[in-house]
Amino acid sequence: MVRGCSFRAKREEHLKQHAINVHGGGYSWHDCGEGKCSFKTKNLEILKKHKEDVHDIGVVWMDCSLKESKGCKFRAKTAEDMHVHMVYIHKLGTLWKKCPTCDYKSKSDEDVNMHVKAKHWLLI
């Protein structure tokens, strides 16, 4: 595609992506522009994601639902992050697995099985 370039690809879209990434391919670079950040890309969606992830620009924050009742100040960028917070910090939204012999409990079947084998010498 570009004279003097030895890159080869089986798929045309890979060749086009190489031409864009390495040779410009008629696309211009978009700089981050935040402070001394040197990030740049040719894809505006990637730039937007970078600014959200790294610089918190354009992020719609979610406050913990226990902010009012428990005073929790946790904020998350994604629903997944909020779910993890609720499960591990507030112990909500998860099923506890219990040891059949003692009061040990865990969120993981594997952890309970390892506990039973190590502490009670039982096979589950």
Confidence at residue 55, expressed as pLDDT on a 0 to 100 scale: 95
Please indicate, yes or no, if residue 101 is contained in any of the structural domains. Answer: yes
Res 1 pLDDT > 60: no
Please give the average per-residue pLDDT across 15-36, as a whole number. 83
99: nearest Cα among 75, 69, 124, 77: 124
Tokens linked to 9: 């690809």
Token match 């112990």: residue?
91
The model's pLDDT over 36-83, given as tens digits with 9 standing for 90+, comes to: 999 998 888 999 999 999 999 999 999 999 988 888 999 999 999 999
Complete DSSP assignment for 48-82: HHHHHHHH-TT---EE-TTHHHH----EESSHHHH
Please indicate, yes or no, if residue 1 is contained in any of the structural domains. Answer: no
Residue type, 26: G
Q: Is 81 in the same domain as 98? A: no
Q: Is 108 in the same domain as 83? A: no
How many independent structural domains does the chain possess? 3
Please give the average per-residue pLDDT across 17-27, as a whole number. 76
Please indicate, yes or no, if residue 64 is contained in any of the structural domains. Answer: yes
